[in-house]
């Protein structure tokens, strides 16, 4: 595993850039555990200070250091986003592959559920769930709700890939060789599905961050907890863009973009590494 | 090559998309004849029935410009000047035991369709609403009115079910009131609740010109016969504003931009930072309530820290006082309004007439007020808070901040409670609390934590105030978390689904010292058990025998009696002693005016009308505005 | 039954249509720290005459497919030409595949066409067949739309396809029809040279016969040259005029089909032929031990020596050159002794 | 044909099942909402005037009866279905007594007009750029525009909207930043009105396009770069077919087909509105209606909007499933 990582780092420029970006931002986010002040405290610093040697990314109109706010915000937002992505990927992969491989009644049953979920409008449902849960709506619950809404389209995609693999030669071989269904799915088919998972994961992560920001901007989130959406919410409350406090919004957005690019580069390079087709084409025949 | 061709095509499309000429801002209406006011996003744009549920508080100009009723109070005014007889020719006349009210109406007032306004319209308004329980003022009429008589076409006599010296307030506009219905229109309608009243018949100087079906704007036009209205009769010259445009100008950022682009003359409210931006970038073309910092217009409402008296330990006065003394009000003023707050120690907003009636006379009492902390007596009042806040904002605003303490008191408030952590500790100990490390423990040994509910988005300055107070309490050992309730805020206050909240349960006439506006509902008769909905406005569910006695006494004195002020002071002293909620400040609204096209807006120096565009009083501002002679020529 | 077709005498025309000289094409990879050089085509020279069918035989991963792709100029990195040249002669004009790419591109389909391996999927599944003909051939024919359509239809009829297939989508056709179609597509411009990569693999036996007959017929009518690759020796026997045997990236034997089949000079060739089934033959086929070598690290000397029953010491050290012998060429130190074995 | 009828029947059954489940679920969730429309109206009516507590009680009772909120949840549910069958969502609670349906119908043209053009532009542009980037993998210009699209992709719509608003409303004020059309201009097919529609729609549409292009770009690029290695593309290249033709007829065309399903789904989603964009630009569409409905506790309105959205998506999925065999010749019904 370490060797693979080293090889990827040394020999794949995209991976190296992606890795540096992602790890860099991860470390930056991790740093919030050592922040010199609690991330919910306000007016401990002079407000509205532009970026300077003392406050690298400036301070907010609430007297907070943008640097440390961002650190916490990225951590919390990524935690949310990745939770959504991981849960929804698991659901999509399981439903998609089982549905595609088993077919028949299972397929019909699962795809009916799937199609029902596809037809549900995300934002209204999330808002409604927030209203119902209100105080007990912690971020993990929100993440779970978002995950439940965010897997269905990709499950269809994965199903179609699995469907095409079902009739391939190697699947028949595996069946004759006495492999069980989970074994076939995991060992034989998963590598083909992996690229789909990576790419849908990227879109899903962006979608999840978008959900977080949307709910925050509309004021439906826990504003005590610094997140990217929470920072935008507060900046908005203080009319930061109009008042010229651009650093309050610009730096978090830049961080999100960099993180996204990092993850994207990681996804395409890792994808290339494990994609059976591109591996075959590399080997020659 | 393919790519190059595509890029060229994209550029060509983009070039075509760039608008050749920008359009006029309003089609067909000269900009210099129109006053543009921030309006709501009306969902029910084609509905102009003011008497259906919710209809009376629409803010698209309908009630502000076309409705009228018997009397008006200018919330910014003082003394007799604050009172206006509108449709009524005189003040209300009660009989001795306040069971009958007689009103004389003005003559020569006409509806915009040419039908004359008479006493029959007033009677019809009351009778129809009693007959239709869903209508807006049906409930108060049903409770109060036995019958309405019309002895002649200009006289109305209300026979009341029981004595009520404040019955006339139903017809007295501060924000709004029971509007008079056009009898000749509604009597042809089968169901007055289902009637859209589109187009509305106007009883005031302006009439509907056109409106957006999508609810983004409504345009009102000066009536040709504007003189045949209660407001027009009082004018010597025709109003210069020919059109009033209520437009939904979008989010706060868009509002600021629109005003700086001269597309929005009157803003209802924006964040302090937006206000400061306008003051910085567009000072030459903008007017404010105060001619400089703090700019804001104080509404006669009193944002406070509300305690739920039915939730332990907030029934304990010592706990409430301890929490009050933990607050550093300077930080709250800076944190909520960036210093631009009008602080209030008394339970009435420091605006309008209450300054001369209550705040100034009671300063000595406040300064000498002593509080028993259990171990000693303290005098917690600090009359120098205004100067302290001024010192904090002077680095940013410099010369705009005067040094005269009297002026500062008008800007920043008369005084507040000094932060006194030692006294707070003593009070909590007196209440049986103990301190474990930096954590206060309740008498039962569990940690004392607080959930502080704020609204959030729509009232951002108060959410900020709540946040800073929560932080101060937390630092002193009472873990306090902010609970942003959003649109459920109002609904959670009702059934008492909160511990502590930022909200307001005190609103006053502003232009009249009578406190019955809110005080009537504070009577213990109306207290509900937790979970049941408490009628507005005693949302803190405060009960006190002394309070009941005050309210009962107030019911028996006439609206204009000097006793009203005396009872008001008694109430205010009681509220200081008991600290049922912690008054913070007036609800300051940042409502800048664009002076490019219009001048003569009301201000602290000339408070002839309310400035909030959602207040019906605004009509008195509109007819008083003067066209700016140096406005850009008509397009 | 093995039907060895009587071959026509080798053409005596002066100029060969294809000249491959010293061609080396390697997969060169530097991937995740693994530096690999796979010598898929290792110093191969051959010529193909006009009106000739030349078959290339060999096991899978012997490099035969890489060879034909290199000849066709259809290689993408990491497969690169390291040395040597591939030159066509179309109408007296010499064309170097790797030196004159634009001219080469213009010549494609007009002079040189290609039948791909797995040609089941070579037609765009979402477009009708007629579009493929139009895209591939129209510009080369210089005809009006109507005349072009008529030409294509008559061409299809001649190879036994109903012209209505033009209006069909590929998936609506059977495998045999699709293969006929690709051959039709490859021959519609009457090119001088056709490259065919495993043209009959993946077809069932009856269809295979059919397709082989078709290729032969078309070639004879047009007088084109064909180079094709397959591992199936029966196909070589059926249509090839000459065959070349490729082992581990090298040409080990070449000669007229009948000679190679009847008197194989190289032990590997002998083995390939011996492993063909014959009717009435009850003798058990002897499987050749071992696997084709790893081309990234080929054996020294003669690359066949680890599996060769006749290998001697010299074979392990020295690489035998491809030298003329009898009617063809062979690269074996013990070439003469094969027949005896 | 028998096969098709069977498929159709099965597909229709599934369609109705999806509608039933989705709408029932939404009904339940809306009913669980703690936002009480009666309280909302009461507080609206009492927040500005002098209030007699006894009068408030009366008002509360009257409103509950008026809004038709009595009866058990099950009764309300049955009642709801019997009305919904004929497209009646009852009166809006916050805009009483205007029917929910007429509120939605008033907002729908705005949303559909805006989203349709934005969606189609971003779909075309995203797919075009994605396919180009997937095919011409070494072109610098494409790499650059790809990087731009990728960098824009994670920026929240709210920020894009706000920045555009600032750019074209303030710094270079050439476009209207609020509303759907010029004030005091009656809707008509006149040049002025249409120009005003276009001007007002430009910034919201641009926001949606910039925000939406990324996901189409990403999926299209990966689809296209897979297809590039397919036999039929390699073969066409060997045949000397021009690269433009290969791109359009062999790569983009094939990669576009799966994207059609996504387009259909998004088209269905149009009926739910673009909440954030409409919020920023104050655009009088369904998204703004929905947010207002939620703020005001108007669950008949929220239910109406979500139901229409569910029906629209389900219909879009059904249509694309039925049409797909016609669009993609590879898919045969069986």
Segments making up each domain of chain A, as ranges: 2-282
Output DSSP code: residue B527. -
pLDDT tens, C204-234?
A: 777 777 778 888 888 888 888 888 888 888 8
Chain length of chain B: 635
Contact check, Cβ <8 Å, D238/C108: yes
Helix, strand, coil distribution of chain C in percent, nearest 5 = 35, 25, 40
**Least confidently predicted of A146-150, D35-39, D291-295:** D35-39
**What number of CA atoms fall less than 13 Å from residue C250's CA on the CB side?**
24
Nearest to B273 among A61, A220, A223 (CB): A61
C-alpha span between D147 and D36 (Å, rounded)? 48
pLDDT at C4 over 50: no
pLDDT at C200 over 80: no
Contact check, Cβ <8 Å, D232/C122: yes
Residues B95 and B53 occupy one common structural domain: no
Residue B614, domain CATH: 3.40.190.10
* Mean pLDDT within D137-162: 83
**What number of CA atoms fall less than 13 Å from residue D134's CA on the CB side?**
31
Q: What are the boundaries of each domain within chain C?
A: 49-75+100-260
Contact check, Cβ <8 Å, D218/A202: yes
C-alpha distances (whole Å) from A139 to each of A207, A225, A226, B135, B498 are 16, 10, 12, 43, 22
What are the structure tokens assigned to B385, written together?
């808070």
Residue B23 within a domain: no
pLDDT tens, D230-271?
A: 788 888 888 778 888 888 888 888 888 878 878 887 887 777
CATH number of C49-75+100-260: 3.40.50.300
Residues B595 and B513 occupy one common structural domain: no
Residues B333 and B270 occupy one common structural domain: no
Residues of chain A under the 70 pLDDT cut: 1-2, 128, 131-136, 167-169, 272, 274-285
Q: What are the boundaries of each domain within chain D?
A: 38-86, 100-331
Tell which of C68, C79, C88, C124 to mutate to test the D interface (max D CBs under 10 Å): C124
Contact check, Cβ <8 Å, B273/A224: no
Q: Using a CB-CB distance cutoff of 8 angstroms, which residues of chain B are in contact with residue D97?
A: 52, 193-194
C-alpha span between D90 and D108 (Å, rounded)? 17
Residues of A with CB under 8 A from a CB of B: 40-43, 47, 61-62, 131, 134-135, 218-220, 222-224, 236-245
* Mean pLDDT within C304-333: 85
Judge whether D63 and B134 are in contact, CB under 8 Å.
Answer: yes
Residues of chain B under the 70 pLDDT cut: 1-24, 54-57, 487, 611, 634-635
Contact check, Cβ <8 Å, B166/D39: no
- Predicted pLDDT at B21: 42
* Mean pLDDT within D140-149: 83
Residues B206 and B241 occupy one common structural domain: yes
- Predicted pLDDT at A72: 93
Q: Using a CB-CB distance cutoff of 8 angstroms, which residues of chain B are in contact with residue D98?
A: 44, 46-47
A contact residues 164-223, partner D, Cβ 8 Å cutoff: 195, 199, 202-203, 206, 209-210, 213-214, 217-218
Closest by alpha carbon to C275, among C57, C51, C38, C15?
A: C57
- Predicted pLDDT at B77: 84
Closest by alpha carbon to B333, among B506, B604, B505, B584?
A: B584
User: Which of B595-609, C311-325, D176-190: highest mean pLDDT?
Assistant: B595-609
Phi-psi map region of C61: left, alpha, beta (phi>0 left; psi -120 to 50 alpha): left
Contact check, Cβ <8 Å, B486/A43: no
CB proximity list for B564: less than 8 A, separation 6 or greater: B513, B514, B515, B554, B557, B558
Say how many domains are in chain B. Answer: 3
Distance from the D132 Cα atom to the nearest Cα atom in chain C, whole angstroms: 18
User: Which of A225-229, C102-106, D47-51: highest mean pLDDT?
Assistant: A225-229
- Predicted pLDDT at C1: 37
Segments forming the whole domain that contains residue B213 = 33-64+195-296+591-627
pLDDT at D164 over 70: yes
Whether D218 and chain A come into contact, CB under 8 Å, resolves to yes
What are the structure tokens assigned to C161, written together?
């396809």
Residue B74, domain CATH: 3.90.76.10
Helix extents (H) in A103-189: 104-119, 122-133, 139-149, 152-166, 169-176, 181-183
Distance from the A102 Cα atom to the nearest Cα atom in chain C, whole angstroms: 25
Residues B234 and B372 occupy one common structural domain: no
Residues B620 and B576 occupy one common structural domain: no
Output DSSP code: residue B413. B
Nearest CA in chain D to A127: D294
pLDDT at C22 over 60: yes
Residues B220 and B367 occupy one common structural domain: no
Percent of chain C with pLDDT over 70: 87
Residues B497 and B528 occupy one common structural domain: yes
Options 3.30.360.10, 1.10.3720.10, 3.40.30.10, 2.30.140.10; which CATH number does A2-282 get? Answer: 1.10.3720.10
Q: What ipTM goes with this model?
A: 0.79
pLDDT tens, A211-220?
A: 888 888 777 7
Contact check, Cβ <8 Å, A282/C38: no
C-alpha span between D134 and B6 (Å, rounded)? 16
Whether D64 and chain B come into contact, CB under 8 Å, resolves to no
The residue ranking higher by pLDDT, D10 or C34, is D10
Q: Using a CB-CB distance cutoff of 8 angstroms, which residues of chain D are in contact with residue C75?
A: none
C28, β-bridge pairs: C37
Contact check, Cβ <8 Å, A42/B252: no
Residues B340 and B270 occupy one common structural domain: no
Judge whether D22 and D14 are in contact, CB under 8 Å.
Answer: no
C-alpha distances (whole Å) from B74 to each of A274, B265, C101 are 76, 21, 90
pLDDT tens, C154-184?
A: 888 877 888 888 888 888 888 778 888 888 8
Residues B520 and B379 occupy one common structural domain: yes
Q: Residue B219: in which H helix or E strand, if any?
A: strand B217-222
Phi, psi angle pair for C47, to nearest 5°: -130, 150
Whether D303 and chain B come into contact, CB under 8 Å, resolves to no
**What number of CA atoms fall less than 13 Å from residue B343's CA on the CB side?**
32
Is the domain spanning D100-331 CATH 3.90.25.10? The answer is no
C-alpha span between B506 and B517 (Å, rounded)? 8
- Predicted pLDDT at D66: 62
Chain-centroid distance of CA C316 in Å reads: 29
Nearest to A42 among B271, B273, B467 (CB): B467
Size of interface A-C (CB pairs under 8 A): 26
Phi, psi angle pair for A88, to nearest 5°: -70, -30
SS3 state at B362: coil
- Predicted pLDDT at D2: 65
Size of interface A-B (CB pairs under 8 A): 66
Do B and C make contact via 3 or more CB pairs under 8 A? The reply is: no
């Amino acid at each position: 595993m370490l060797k693979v990582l080293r090889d990827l780092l040394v020999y794949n420029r995209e991976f190296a850039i992606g890795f540096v970006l992602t790890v860099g931002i991860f470390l930056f986010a991790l740093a919030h555990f050592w922040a010199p002040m609690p991330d919910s405290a306000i007016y401990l610093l002079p407000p509205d200070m532009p970026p300077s040697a003392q406050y690298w990314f400036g301070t907010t109109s609430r007297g907070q250091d943008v640097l440390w706010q961002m650190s916490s915000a990225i951590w919390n937002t990524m935690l949310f986003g990745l939770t959504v992505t991981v849960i929804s990927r698991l659901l999509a992969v399981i439903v998609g592959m089982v549905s595609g491989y088993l077919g028949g009644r299972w397929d019909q049953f699962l795809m009916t559920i799937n199609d029902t979920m596809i037809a549900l409008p995300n934002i209204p449902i999330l808002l409604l769930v927030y209203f119902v849960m209100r105080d007990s709506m912690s971020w993990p619950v929100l993440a779970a709700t978002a995950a439940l809404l965010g897997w269905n389209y990709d499950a269809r995609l994965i199903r179609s890939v699995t469907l095409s693999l079902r009739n391939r030669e190697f699947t028949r071989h595996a069946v004759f060789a006495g492999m069980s269904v989970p074994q076939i799915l995991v060992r034989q088919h998963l590598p083909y599905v992996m690229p789909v998972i990576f790419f849908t994961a990227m879109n899903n992560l962006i979608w999840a961050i978008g959900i977080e920001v949307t709910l925050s901007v509309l004021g439906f989130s826990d504003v005590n907890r610094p997140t990217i959406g929470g920072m935008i919410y507060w900046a908005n409350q203080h009319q930061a863009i109009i008042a010229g406090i651009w650093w309050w919004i610009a730096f978090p957005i830049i961080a999100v973009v960099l993180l996204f690019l990092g993850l994207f580069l990681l996804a395409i390079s890792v994808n290339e590494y494990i994609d059976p087709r591109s591996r075959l084409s590399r080997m020659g025949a | 090559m393919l790519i190059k061709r595509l890029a060229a095509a994209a550029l060509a499309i983009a070039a075509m998309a760039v608008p050749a000429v920008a359009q006029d801002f309003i089609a067909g209406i000269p900009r210099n004849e129109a006053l543009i006011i921030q309006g709501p996003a009306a969902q029910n744009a084609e509905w102009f029935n003011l008497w259906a549920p919710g209809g009376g508080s629409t803010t698209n100009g309908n009630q502000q410009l076309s409705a009228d009723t018997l009397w008006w109070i200018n919330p910014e005014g003082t003394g007799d000047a604050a009172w206006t007889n509108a449709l009524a020719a005189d003040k209300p006349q009660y009989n001795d035991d306040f069971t009958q009210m007689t009103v004389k109406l003005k003559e020569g007032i006409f509806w915009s369709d040419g039908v004359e306004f008479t006493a029959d319209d007033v009677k019809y308004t009351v009778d129809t609403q009693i007959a239709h329980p869903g209508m807006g003022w049906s409930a108060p009429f049903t409770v109060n009115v036995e019958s309405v008589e019309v002895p002649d076409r200009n006289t109305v006599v209300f026979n009341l079910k029981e004595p009520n010296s404040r019955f006339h307030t139903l017809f007295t506009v501060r924000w709004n009131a029971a509007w008079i219905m056009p009898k000749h229109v509604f009597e042809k309608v089968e169901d007055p609740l289902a009637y859209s009243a589109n187009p509305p018949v106007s009883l005031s100087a302006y009439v509907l010109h056109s409106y957006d079906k999508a609810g983004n704007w409504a345009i009102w036009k000066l009536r040709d016969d504007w003189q045949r209205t209660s407001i027009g009769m009082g004018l010597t010259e025709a109003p210069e504003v020919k059109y009033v445009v209520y437009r939904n100008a979008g989010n706060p950022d868009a509002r600021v931009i629109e005003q700086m682009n001269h597309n929005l003359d009157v803003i209802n409210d924006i964040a302090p930072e937006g206000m400061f931006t306008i003051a910085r970038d567009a000072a030459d073309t903008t007017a404010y309530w105060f001619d400089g910092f703090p700019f804001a217009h104080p509404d006669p409402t009193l944002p406070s820290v509300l305690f739920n008296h039915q939730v332990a330990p907030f029934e304990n006065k010592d706990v409430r006082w301890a929490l009050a003394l933990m607050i550093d009000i300077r930080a709250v003023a800076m944190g909520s309004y960036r210093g631009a707050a009008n602080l209030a120690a008394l339970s009435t907003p420091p605006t309008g007439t209450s300054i001369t009636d209550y705040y100034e006379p009671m300063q000595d009492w406040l300064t000498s007020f002593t509080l028993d902390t259990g171990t000693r007596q303290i005098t917690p009042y600090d009359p120098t808070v205004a100067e302290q806040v001024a010192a904090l904002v002077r680095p940013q605003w410099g010369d705009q901040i005067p040094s005269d303490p009297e002026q500062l008191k008008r800007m920043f408030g008369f005084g507040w409670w000094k932060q006194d952590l030692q006294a707070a500790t003593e009070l909590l100990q007196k209440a049986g609390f103990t301190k474990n490390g930096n954590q206060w423990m309740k008498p039962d040994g569990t940690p004392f934590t607080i959930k502080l509910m704020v609204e959030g988005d729509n009232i951002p300055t108060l959410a900020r105030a709540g946040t800073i107070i929560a932080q101060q309490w937390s630092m002193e050992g009472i873990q306090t978390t902010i609970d942003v309730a959003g649109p459920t805020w109002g609904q959670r206050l009702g059934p008492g689904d909160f511990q502590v909240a930022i909200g307001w349960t005190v609103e006053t006439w502003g232009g009249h010292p009578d406190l019955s506006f809110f005080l009537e509902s504070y009577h213990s008769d109306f207290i509900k058990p937790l979970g049941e909905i408490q009628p507005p406005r005693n949302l803190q569910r405060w009960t006190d025998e002394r309070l009941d006695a005050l309210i009962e006494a107030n019911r028996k004195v006439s609206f204009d009696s000097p006793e009203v002020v005396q009872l008001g002071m008694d109430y205010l002293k009681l509220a200081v002693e008991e600290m049922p909620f912690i008054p913070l400040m007036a609800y300051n609204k940042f409502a800048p005016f664009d002076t490019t096209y219009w001048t003569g807006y009301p201000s602290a120096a000339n408070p002839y009308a309310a400035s909030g565009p959602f207040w019906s009083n605004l009509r008195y501002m509109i007819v008083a505005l003067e066209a700016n002679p140096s406005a850009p020529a008509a397009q | 039954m093995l039907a060895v077709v009587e071959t026509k005498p080798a053409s005596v025309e002066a100029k060969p249509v294809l000249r491959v000289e010293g061609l080396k094409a390697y997969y060169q990879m530097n991937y995740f720290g693994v530096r690999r050089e796979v010598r898929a085509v290792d110093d191969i020279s051959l010529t193909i005459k006009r009106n000739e069918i030349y078959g290339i035989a060999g096991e899978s991963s012997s490099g035969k497919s890489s060879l034909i792709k290199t000849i066709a100029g259809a290689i993408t990195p990491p497969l690169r030409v390291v040395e040597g040249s591939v030159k066509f002669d179309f109408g007296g004009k010499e064309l170097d595949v790797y030196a004159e790419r634009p001219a080469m591109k213009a010549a494609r389909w007009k002079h040189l066409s290609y039948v791909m391996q797995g040609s089941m999927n070579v037609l765009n599944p979402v477009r009708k067949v007629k579009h493929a003909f139009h895209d591939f051939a129209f510009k080369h024919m210089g005809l009006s739309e109507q005349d072009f359509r008529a030409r294509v239809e008559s061409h299809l009829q001649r190879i036994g396809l109903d012209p209505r297939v033009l209006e069909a989508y590929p998936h609506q056709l059977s495998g045999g029809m699709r293969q006929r179609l690709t051959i039709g597509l490859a021959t519609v411009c009457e090119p001088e040279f056709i490259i065919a990569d495993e043209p009959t693999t993946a077809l069932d036996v009856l269809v295979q016969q059919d397709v082989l007959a078709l290729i032969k017929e078309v070639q004879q009518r047009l007088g084109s040259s064909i180079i094709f690759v397959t591992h199936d020796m029966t196909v070589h026997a059926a249509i090839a005029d000459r065959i070349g045997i490729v082992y581990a990236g090298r040409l080990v034997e070449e000669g007229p089909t009948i000679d190679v089949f009847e008197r194989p000079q190289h032990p590997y060739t002998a083995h390939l032929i011996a492993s063909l089934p014959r009717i009435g033959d009850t003798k058990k086929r002897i499987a050749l031990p071992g696997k084709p070598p790893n081309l990234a690290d080929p054996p020294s000397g003669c690359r066949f020596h680890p599996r060769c029953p006749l290998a001697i010491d010299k074979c392990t050290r020295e690489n035998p050159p491809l030298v003329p012998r009898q009617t063809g060429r062979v690269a074996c130190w013990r070439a003469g002794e094969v027949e005896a074995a | 044909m028998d096969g098709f009828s069977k498929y159709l029947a099965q597909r229709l059954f599934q369609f109705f099942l999806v509608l039933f489940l989705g709408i029932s679920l939404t009904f339940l969730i809306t009913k669980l909402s703690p936002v009480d429309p009666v309280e909302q109206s009461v507080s609206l009516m009492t927040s500005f005037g002098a209030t007699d507590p006894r009068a408030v009680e009366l008002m509360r009772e009257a409103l509950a009866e008026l809004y038709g909120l009595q009866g058990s949840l099950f009764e309300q549910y049955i009642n709801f279905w019997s009305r919904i069958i004929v497209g009646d969502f009852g009166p809006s609670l916050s805009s009483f007594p205007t029917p929910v349906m007429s509120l939605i119908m008033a907002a729908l043209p705005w949303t559909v007009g805006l989203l349709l053009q934005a969606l189609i532009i971003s779909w075309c542009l995203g797919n075009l750029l994605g396919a180009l980037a997937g095919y011409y993998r070494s072109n610098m210009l494409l790499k650059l525009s790809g990087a731009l699209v990728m960098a824009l992709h994670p920026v929240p719509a709210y920020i894009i909207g706000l920045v555009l608003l600032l750019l074209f409303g303030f710094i270079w004020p050439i476009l209207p930043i609020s509303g759907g059309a010029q004030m005091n201009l009656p809707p008509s097919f006149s040049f002025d009105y249409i120009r005003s529609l276009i001007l007002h729609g430009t910034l919201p549409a641009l926001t949606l396009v910039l925000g939406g292009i990324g996901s189409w770009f990403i999926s299209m690029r990966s689809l296209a770069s897979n297809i590039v290695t397919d036999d039929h593309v390699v073969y066409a290249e060997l045949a000397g077919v021009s690269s433009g033709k290969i791109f359009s007829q062999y790569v983009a065309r094939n990669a576009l087909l799966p994207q059609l399903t996504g387009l259909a789904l998004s088209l269905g989603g149009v009926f739910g509105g673009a909440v954030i964009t409409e919020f920023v630009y104050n655009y009088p569409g369904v998204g703004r209606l929905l947010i207002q409905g939620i703020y005001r506790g108007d669950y008949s309105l929220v239910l109406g909007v979500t139901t229409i959205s569910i029906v629209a998506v389900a219909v879009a999925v059904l249509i694309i499933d039925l049409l797909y065999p016609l669009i993609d010749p590879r898919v045969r019904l069986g």
